[in-house]
Amino acid sequence: MLVARGVIQPTPITRKYRVKLAYEERHAPKVFVISPRLERRPSQPELPIPHTYGSSKVGEERPCLYLPESGEWTPSHAIAITIMPWFLTWLVDYEIWLATGEWLGGGAPHGSSDGDCAPSSRKGAA
């Protein structure tokens, strides 16, 4: 298991985030926001954060960055040039959602927003 930690700031007007990336061979990489923690919109606390795994569990959300089994990411892709830039753009979209209530980053829905990991990683774990 590979774990990387660091601080990232997607653009000069976003916050700086302490983040963690965990990668286990043949599993999907997982990204975590350590601090400041991801939060729901104060004016709409019943609404989960869009495009997150574990979105029903406040405090345990983590970004869903790509469509599993679509080929957008496979173990042959370098994390540094796929997962990392997607993490950056996701954080920009997250802040804009937090500010305006609108998710402008696009994306695809999945059946359950509570899935703890993407289908591709489940397969890998089997």
Partner 1 sequence: MAAPSYPQVTEHIDFLLAEVAAILQLTGEQHQLAVQHYGAVAEYLSAQGSPVARFDPLIYPQGSMALETTVRPLRQEEYDLDLVCQLLRTGLDAMSVYNMVYARLMSHNTYATMVEKKNRCIRINYAHDFHLDIIPAEPDATRGGTAILVPDRSLVSWTPSNPKGFVGWFRGRCAILKRAAKAEAVPSPTPAAQKPALTIAVQLMKRRRDLFFSDATLAPRSVVLTTLAGELFQGTESVVATLAQILAGIQRRVMREAPNRIVVCNPTNGDERFCESFDGPGRYEAFKQFVEQFGREVQGLLSLEGIPQLEERLGVLFGGEPVRKAVKSYGALQKAKRDAGTLKFTGAGLGGVSVLPGSGGTRPVPPNTYFGAA
Residues that bind partner 1 (CB under 8 A): 7-16, 48, 50-53, 55, 63-68, 70, 72-73, 77, 80-82, 84-86, 88-90, 92-93, 95-96, 98-100, 102-110, 113, 115, 118
Nearer to partner 1, 16 or 26 (CB): 16
CB atoms under 10 Å from CB of 96, counted, come to 15
Nearer to partner 1, 24 or 40 (CB): 40
Minimum CB separation from partner 1 for residue 15, in Å? 4
Provide the edge-to-edge strand list for the sheet that holds 17-23. 2-8, 17-23, 30-35
Nearer to partner 1, 27 or 118 (CB): 118
- 124: amino acid identity, one letter: G
**Lookup: tokens for 43:** 């004016």
Minimum CB separation from partner 1 for residue 26, in Å? 19
Residue partners of 69: CB distance under 8 A and separation at least 6: 119, 120
Q: What is the Cα–Cα distance from 29 to 94, expressed in whole angstroms?
A: 19
Q: What is the Cα–Cα distance from 40 to 38, expressed in whole angstroms?
A: 7
Nearer to partner 1, 108 or 125 (CB): 108
Minimum CB separation from partner 1 for residue 62, in Å? 10
Minimum CB separation from partner 1 for residue 24, in Å? 19
